[in-house]
Structure 1
Amino acid sequence: MTSGSLLTRAIFTEGSTMRHVLVMTGTASVGLMSIFLVDLLSLIYVSRLGDPNLTAAVGYATQVLFFSVSINIGLSIAIGALVARAIGAGDWPDAQRLAASGLVHVVIVAGLVSCVALPLRREILILFGARGEALDVGATFLAITLPATIFLGLGMSLASLLRAVGDARRAMFVTLSGAIVTACLDPIFIFGFGLGVDGAAIVTLISRFVLLAVGLHGAVRKHGLVGRPYREAVIYDLPAMMTIAVPAILTNLAAPVANAYSMRIFSHFGEAVVAAFAINDRVTPFAFGVLFALSGSVGPIMAQNLGARLIRRVRQTLTNSFVFSAIYVVIVSALLREAAPIVIDIFNARGETAELVRFFCAYAGPLWLFLGGIFVANAAFNNLGFPLLSTLFNWGRATLGVIPFVTIGAARFGPEGGFIGLIAGSAMFGIGAVAAAYFVTAKLAKRPKGA
């Protein structure tokens, strides 16, 4: 493939903005939802072992892994943006150099994170509230899966490179491959080989290898997109990579920080409550995963129209995205509420765990309505030249919108109160983010042409 074969027409500046939103989101959803499906399937199989301590252990370990995954997401955003710009400029050798350097940066950063977290995994789990059997099992799970985050980071970055070159189908296959491997091997390793939670961890490791192999096949063999890395180039490209990656990483780290604090608060109520929190933490992202795809898909639509000075279409895209998000949340919330008994049965939840899962399913809608607003606003901030606002609202929600609300809610009304606190804090920052997004587009409309 050569740079001459790339499409150069700004297709998002023409036609229905709602259609662009729907098509882009639908395509991105398939690959992204497969990632959530991987986590969901693993927890379903572990929960069938019938021990809440094991379910809680996976829940604790997942919160730790969220941090490394968030860092990998930031790195993949940076490498994709740099390579896409080079391709858009028609400079294929530059794109190959940046791809090679970026992948080396991913290995170094992801490797350092794993090396730091691995020997401290028990201390980190204790900080999250883990104890007893959940602590021991969680530590073993992390010992197997933490090194695999390097392969996950490379796989995610390779998928980002495939999107940069316009190959959305192969990018989707990268993440789908991990889900397929997990779906096939999890029951074999967990039940067939009798390995339990260790089996789930081993399958996670295998799925990361497969994800990496599929990504390499597409980016290297099919497109020849990755050049040979050179030390001088790796050092030279580091500032450009980090200029994009650091703000993106900081923004993405806000969510796991909020989750970690919430998990610690809920851990005071016992392992049955933590198990319910872990189930909710897998079910709701899968149910509302389209919102994550939406936030990552509408950015190019806004950016192209901004470049063409079509601010009316930028605002129209913003409104279309908010409307789509709200309608989607309302529909899925109703379905999730009705599906609560099925969710409880699938995860073999009992007693207090089952009651809390039912409560979470019933009241997840309001939380994700406001989170959806924040996600869409983030896309606007990052693609319209106001990335600091994205970091501000995400960290604002993760701290001021979580710590006081969850702490007070849980202290006065138990786990249910803590969850309602999450909703209240998200409402405050969700409404603020939506208002700020419209303020940004209004400010852009007043700029003189060419400014």
Structure 2
Amino acid sequence: MRHVAVMAGTGAIGMMAVFAVDLLNFYYISHLRDPALTAAIGFATAISYVQLSVCIGMMIGLGAVTGRLIGACRSIRARHLASGFLVVMLFSSAILGILTALLAPELLEALGATGEAQSQATGFLHIIAPALPLTCFGMAQSALLRAVGDARRAMQVTLIGAMISAIMDPIMIFGLHLGLTGAAISTIISRSAVVVAGFLCVREHRMIEWPRLWAIAPATRQIGKVALPAIATNLATPLGTVFVTHFMSRFGLEAISGQATIDRIVPVAFALVFALTGSVGPIMSQNLGAGQVHRVREALVSALKLTALCVAITWFLLALFHQEIVHIFGLRGIGADIVTLFCEWLVASYFFVGLLFVANTAFNNLGHAFYSTGFNWGRATLGTIPFVWIGAHYGPIGILYGQSLGVVIFGTAAVLVAFRVIRAL
């Protein structure tokens, strides 16, 4: 429990700082009092999540394979494969970023964006999307730092990016009057700082070197066995979000603004739950590589306990301060109703989101990555589409209820299967 708590806690601090700055960024934009701008962030975020899911999937594969090699005392092999796979990560993310920027207007139109909201979101993506390799490289370095157990430096690197973004956002948005363009430029500057700081830390651990050409192919094969299913797994969640955003857009910009507010609150409020997925994985893979199977189960149980504690505390705080949240972000009408319902009741459904995430981490690191793919796509399709489609007949509130009900079913099933997988080791 101590190992899981330290790794997840430091990860949560770093993630919370990043997403708190993201939330602050959204707060700045909301104070421009233009619903088209806040809706534009909602639309752009839905597309950006798809990009990030590809990077996260590659990061999971990198962390799982290198962690297992380190646990088996094969650090040199881990360094060769990690450096070779970084080439694949940067090349893949560059292609994805450029394609997203080129197709941004069509993608946003498919989501339901129109008029000024579509125009603003397109401009935002034209700046952010091509810089995806910076994000991917930063994630890779974080995975390597956690694979060697250096949670403190992984947190510090993330905090550096958050601090720079917190300083640059108001300067760009208000000082230079650049609006969403300023927010995008600030994001790129902070991501660049993370890459530089992360590179210096990873180099100290001798976990990175100039890529060897012969290592690229075996790195792609070995890490790809985990990364490809992990990418497929992680794509399910943002695609489900895209589906929800499409239905929510039918009810106007206020509904999209309310949904965008929830999308900004959740990563901050549940930073510990999200950090568990990146922190428990290396612990499981290291202990599996060292033959300590009983500790693999202990890590899973500890992660579930921390998830329950985090959700309980978050539910209490959001329910207590929901009126202040609505006021701070200037929400009105249906947007205010959406955020109020989430804070008072539907936030509890994130316990089951946590179950699903922790179970998927176990699957990815214990040689059953396709289980996580199945459960995540099950949640994004069978657990989202029919429930949201039915709920949409009752308005935006019905969409939120439908989305929550689906995750309860699949989160519970996933964690039960995870325990069966560990018993079979």
TM-score by length of 1: 0.89
- Work out whether 1:420 is the aligned partner of 2:367: no
Residues 15-414 of structure 1 aligned to structure 2 (within 5 Å)? 18-220=1-203, 222-303=204-285, 306=288, 313-411=295-393, 413-414=394-395
- Secondary structure at the residue paired with 1:385? coil
Q: CA RMSD in A?
A: 2.0
Supply the AA of the counterpart residue of 1:253: L
Q: Which of 408, 428, 432 does residue 413 from structure 2 map onto?
A: 432
Supply the AA of the counterpart residue of 1:259: T
Residue 93 of structure 1 and its aligned partner are, at CA, apart by 4.3
The answer for the alignment partner of 2:423 in structure 1 is 442
- Secondary structure at the residue paired with 1:268? helix
Supply the AA of the counterpart residue of 2:308: A
Q: Aligned in 2, Cα 1:167/1:71: closer, same or farther, shift over 3 Å?
A: same
CA distance in 2, matches of 1:308, 1:111: 36
Q: Aligned in 2, Cα 1:224/1:387: closer, same or farther, shift over 3 Å?
A: closer
CA distance in 1, matches of 2:61, 2:5: 25
- Secondary structure at the residue paired with 1:50? coil
Supply the AA of the counterpart residue of 1:436: V
Residue 386 of structure 1 and its aligned partner are, at CA, apart by 2.1
- Secondary structure at the residue paired with 2:263? helix
CA distance in 1, matches of 2:406, 2:251: 21
CA contact (8 A) 2:66 2:147 kept: yes
CA distance in 1, matches of 2:267, 2:184: 20
Residue 423 of structure 1 and its aligned partner are, at CA, apart by 1.1
TM-score by length of 2: 0.94
* Range with greater deviation from structure 2 (421-430 or 236-245): 236-245
Q: Aligned in 2, Cα 1:298/1:139: closer, same or farther, shift over 3 Å?
A: same
CA distance in 1, matches of 2:403, 2:205: 45
CA distance in 2, matches of 1:384, 1:93: 22
Matched residue pairs, number?
425
Q: Aligned in 2, Cα 1:305/1:90: closer, same or farther, shift over 3 Å?
A: closer
Supply the AA of the counterpart residue of 2:365: N
CA distance in 1, matches of 2:89, 2:290: 33
Deviation beyond 6 Å, 4+ runs, structure 1: none
Residue 352 of structure 1 and its aligned partner are, at CA, apart by 2.8
Supply the AA of the counterpart residue of 2:240: A
Q: Aligned in 2, Cα 1:213/1:20: closer, same or farther, shift over 3 Å?
A: closer
CA distance in 1, matches of 2:238, 2:41: 15
CA distance in 2, matches of 1:88, 1:303: 7
In structure 1, stretches of 5+ residues that fail to align are 1-17, 445-451
CA distance in 2, matches of 1:128, 1:49: 24
Q: Aligned in 2, Cα 1:306/1:91: closer, same or farther, shift over 3 Å?
A: closer
CA distance in 1, matches of 2:262, 2:160: 24
Q: Comparing both chains, which one has the higher relative contact order based on Cα–Cα distances under 8 Å and sequence gaps of 6 or more?
A: 2
CA distance in 2, matches of 1:34, 1:382: 26
Supply the AA of the counterpart residue of 2:395: G
Supply the AA of the counterpart residue of 1:189: M
CA distance in 2, matches of 1:86, 1:69: 26
- The percent of aligned pairs where both chains have the same amino acid is 44
Q: Aligned in 2, Cα 1:157/1:315: closer, same or farther, shift over 3 Å?
A: closer
* Range with greater deviation from structure 2 (54-63 or 337-346): 337-346
Higher Cα Rg, which structure: 1
In structure 2, stretches of 5+ residues that fail to align are none
Q: Aligned in 2, Cα 1:40/1:114: closer, same or farther, shift over 3 Å?
A: same
CA contact (8 A) 1:41 1:182 kept: no
CA contact (8 A) 2:147 2:282 kept: no
CA contact (8 A) 1:97 1:228 kept: no
Q: Aligned in 2, Cα 1:124/1:373: closer, same or farther, shift over 3 Å?
A: same
